[in-house]
Structure 1
Amino acid sequence: MQDSRFTPGMLIGLVLCLGLMFCAIFASEIAPHDPDRQHLAHRLEGPSEEFPLGADKLGRCVASRIIHGLRPSLGLAVSITAMAALVGTLFGVCAAYFRPLDALLMRITDCFFAFPGFVMALITISIMGPSTTSLVIALGLPGWPKYARVVRSKALALRECGYVEASRAIGAGPLYILRYCILPGVLPSVVTISTLGIGSKVIHIAGLGFLGLGVQPPTPEWGTMLIKGIPVLEAAPHISLSAMAAISVSVLGFTLLGEGLRNMLDPRSNLSDWRKMQTVS
């Protein structure tokens, strides 16, 4: 059975996430070259001292483009996750506390659950056109229902707690109870799901970029780099492999951090998992 202390996996995830964020913030200082500058004499050149991860077919530094690609990938992933968490949390707490609204809000949530998220994103971007705004809306719309479901279940349990009943007894209004009694209790679950969700959003952003529907050139983006490197995969595999490695490291970091936060913030889930394992064994 796990406990709620720091685990090696969580520590690795935290280091990876902090390192990625540091590189994204100081990309201009860390990158060895301008990501858009062309060095045609070095096109498709492999890794070297001057170009640590080689150069692409236009002679641009792959390492510089990978580092600058952190900004749209992580920036958009965090923005999309924050929007989904905010909408889902509002739906969840309102459905749990204001019981007459529960059926209506949950049926709206079920309608969004009925559509595959990535398909909905493709349809939204096809209608709105490729842009940063459409990307945020397209990936944020299918993301909030899972927050609503989890928050509602947590809030339903919290609204029956003694301190909530005591707040009602002394005349506290619904907004006060939601803000000071229920929201603090559901935030650990929201933080955990959000951290895990950032990794999945990085994959979705790269997937849309791979299809040409994500962040548009000349902005460096990992999915676009991946598809651009496929035609020259045999001659210059470092282009696609570098983009794949960047995506994998990002997803790994946020997944490990999210799992660690789940273990720390919700120890009861560990007890439940342990009991299930004992039953199976």
Structure 2
Amino acid sequence: MSVTSAATGSGPSRWRAGLGRLAAGAALITAVASLPWLSGNDPALTVLRARSADQDPTPEQLTAVREQLGLDEGPFAHLAHWLGGLPRGDAGTSWVSGDAVLPQVTGAFAVSLTLMLGALAVTVAVAALACVRTLYLGSRRRLQRGRGAIGVAVLAALPKFLLASLLATVYGVWLGWLPSSGWQGPASMVLPSLALGVPSGAVIGGLLQQSLPAAFNEPWARTWHAYGFARGRVARHALRRALAGVLPQLLPTVVGLVGGAVAVEKIFNVPGLGRLALDAAIAQDLPPLQTATLSLILLGVAAGLLIQALRRALLGPALRDGALPALHAPAAARGRFTRWVVAVCALALLAVITAGLLRDPLHVDTAARLLPPSAAHPLGTDALGRDLLARLGHGASRTVALALVVTAVCALTGLLLGMTAQIGAGLTEVVSTMPAVLAGLLTTAVTGPSAWGAALAVCLVGWTPYAAQAAALLEQERASGHMLASLSFGAGPGYLLRHHLLPAVLPGVLRNALLRLPTTVLVLASLGFLGLGEQPPTAEWGRLLSENQPYVELAPWTVLGPACALVLLSVLALNGADAVAVRRRPASARTRPWSRGTGLRVKSGVSAG
């Protein structure tokens, strides 16, 4: 495939992308349809308990439910019947309530879509605030990272369900400014939108902070500065240039604001699509679960196509003409303030973990329940009287190790699939529509609730941001001038992979993985919050947050320790990401052998740094 066709996505590439979407969507729908049979539990028993909460149904009752629902026919017969009714606008009836499914899913989808738009507006606003300082400094050729990056790391490390609890308590209960429960009008979407949008905006803003210095360091920007172009014009075009690489990261964010907001929907009692899918999956109510999953898939495909079109519109003819080089981050100087902050965070986290390891995390003292911080208990105690410092210290190794393993697997999987061009793109769009909660339910049905089951669920869906980023970076690198020069001198696929493609992709993907490390911890915590992850009495940071979340209003110190530990981990991860981003010179700036046979060495005329 030529560079131009790969960039424009025309011809056979579109067919391959469509086939990838179709295959991934079919596999996902089939897996969802098989959920009751994968779990090994009797679907009739689960449905009957969901209907009447009867713990000991008679064999006659179970037989009647099986005959009524046709459970003996197996999952594929049910799937075929459900698919056959969709063209007629019939999505079946709920096995539990007996009501028509389509009105339920349509109403929940409308609520979730409205909430998604509000959260997306917050995401864009927070991302804009996060990168405004970088835009200001970059337009003046002062590419130094400072306090803004630390603030972004802190916001990105906020657990969404914990932020939702704090917002509901402060602004809904204490101050009474906004509704803290239900869905009654525009005011009801403010607090959930903030809980969802602030951390997501910080993640997107952090990615923009990485790309903007690279855009300001490109030859065109240096030339415009030399000729005295207006700083605002340079900043505007640099933002447009950087957005092209960050836009693919919006797809998992957008869809996650719909299907992945289950914990926030439960806290604010929002009747959204994610909550409907969760309740249907727990009850093994297949018709609404399948319809909700299909809605998420269609939303993900539509959002992916829209983001792709917006990205091409931002780039304009540069992408279509095959003349767009990849962005490479310049070596940005770090101020003394940043170095001090990183050192203090590392020492503080190490001190807390060390002190916690010297205490017993499982000792229960019912007479010391929910005690505030003191000399005996520096971080206080939880609802069972256990020392929070001890639980925080003993949970550090398990939390960080599990998050590192999951992040590494997701990044490697995303990198490999991101290099498969259009088939990988279609697969990415579809899988990104699958909430981690739904993946957790599928894995829990096979493995049972456990930490590794939750890790497997995150691995199944967590590779999509890396695949989208890798595909975008590869597309830009293939369109660069030095890549075309290498091809003209007869460079083979192995040489192009080692000297062009991997150097252009690996630093960005690795930095993204480090930036998302705290997010991985939070996703695992969300699964634990919903009962799908780590089980008690394990001392894991996500588990600490979820089990102490109900006591935020009464004893806020119960969540303060693990929340601060996540913030410290996020700051250290950001520092490691910066170190990765600025140590490698771009391939276009190095002298390279274009032809092994002649030994000819030519310097590329394209330089990004």
Give the TM-score normalised by structure 2: 0.37
Residue 549 (structure 2) pairs with residue 223 (structure 1): no
Task: Answer yes or no: is 1:63 the counterpart of 2:63.
Answer: no
SS in 1 for 2:443: helix
CA change 1:198–1:122 in 2 (3 A) is farther
The amino acid that maps onto 1:55 is T
Q: 1:89 aligns with which of 412, 415, 432?
A: 415
- Matched letter for residue 74 of structure 1: V
The equivalent residue for 1:99 is none
What percent of counterpart residues are identical? Answer: 33
Q: Which amino acid aligns with 2:415?
A: T
Paired residues, what number? 256
Aligned CA distance change for structure 1 residues 118 and 233 (closer, same or farther; 3 Å): closer
Cα deviation digits, residues 119-151 of structure 1 (max 9, x gap): 333433344322233222211221212211221
- Indicate conservation of the 8 Å contact 1:16/1:250, yes or no: no
Residues 178 and 88 from structure 1, CA distance in 2 versus in 1: closer, same or farther, beyond 3 angstroms?
A: same
Aligned to 1:213: 532
- Structure 1 residues not aligned, in runs of 5+: 96-101, 266-281
Aligned residues of 2:449 and 2:533 also touching (Cα < 8 A)? yes
2:558 pairs with 1:239? yes
Alpha-carbon distance in structure 1 between the residues aligned to 2:351 and 2:438: 32
Cα distance in structure 1, aligned partners of 2:488 and 2:500: 14
Report how far residue 22 of structure 1 moved: 3.8
Cα distance, 1:49 vs. partner?
0.9
| Paired AA for residue 69 in structure 1 | G
Change over 3 Å in CA distance of 1:42–1:190 after alignment to 2: same
Rounded to whole Å, the distance in 1 between the matches of 2:481 and 2:427 is: 31
**1:132-211 correspondence runs (5 A):** 132-168=451-487, 172-211=491-530
TM-score normalized by the length of structure 1 = 0.73
Q: How far apart are 1:39 and its partner, in Å?
A: 4.7
2:146 aligned with 1:7, yes or no? Answer: yes
Checking the alignment, whether the CA contact within 8 Å between 1:198 and 1:254 is kept in structure 2 is no
Q: Are positions 1:76 and 2:76 aligned together? A: no
CA distance in 2, matches of 1:83, 1:54: 36
Over the aligned positions, Cα root-mean-square deviation in angstroms equals 3.5
Instruction: Check conservation: 2:512, 2:577, Cα contact below 8 A.
Output: no
Residue identity matched to 1:5: Q
Counterpart Cα distance in 1 of 2:581 and 2:501: 21
| Aligned pair partner of 1:35 in 352, 357, 361 | 361
Structure 2: unaligned runs, 5 residues or longer: 1-135, 150-337, 584-609
Query: The residue matched to 1:215 in structure 2 has which SS?
Result: coil
2:423 to 99, 104, 107: 104
Q: Judging changes above 3 Å, is the alpha-carbon distance between structure 1 residues 20 and 216 closer, same or farther for their aligned structure 2 residues? A: farther
Match of 2:594 in 1: none
Match of 1:279 in 2: none
Could you report, residue by residue, the CA deviation over 1:227-275 in whole angstroms, capped at 9, with x for unpaired residues? 4335666765432443444445545x3686589679969xxxxxxxxxx
TM-superposed deviation, 1:202: 1.8
Pair 115,236 (structure 1): closer, same or farther in 2 beyond 3 Å: closer
Superposed CA offset, 1:80-130 (max 9, x none) = 1211111111122x33xxxxxx33222222221232344333433344322
Structure 1 SS opposite 2:145: coil
Question: C-alpha distance in 2, partners of 1:230/1:150?
Answer: 34
Residues 240 and 149 of structure 1: is their aligned pair in 2 closer, same or farther, counting only changes over 3 Å? Answer: closer
Structure ID, larger Rg: 2
2:370 and 2:385 in contact (8 A); partners too: yes
Secondary structure at the residue paired with 2:467?
helix
CA deviation digits over 1:15-45, x for unaligned, max 9?
A: 4764577469xx3565441222345554443
- Deviation per CA, 1:62-87, whole angstroms, max 9, x where unpaired? 11112222223322222212111111
Q: Tell me what 1:128 maps to.
A: 447
Higher relative contact order (CA 8 A, sep 6+): 1
| Cross-structure match for 2:244 | none
Match of 1:50 in 2: 376
- Pick closer, same or farther for the CA change 1:117–1:38 going to 2, 3 Å: closer
Q: Distance in 1 between matches of 2:479 and 2:506?
A: 17
Question: Partners of 1:103 and 1:184 in 2: how far apart?
Answer: 21
1:19–1:39 Cα change, 3 Å:
same
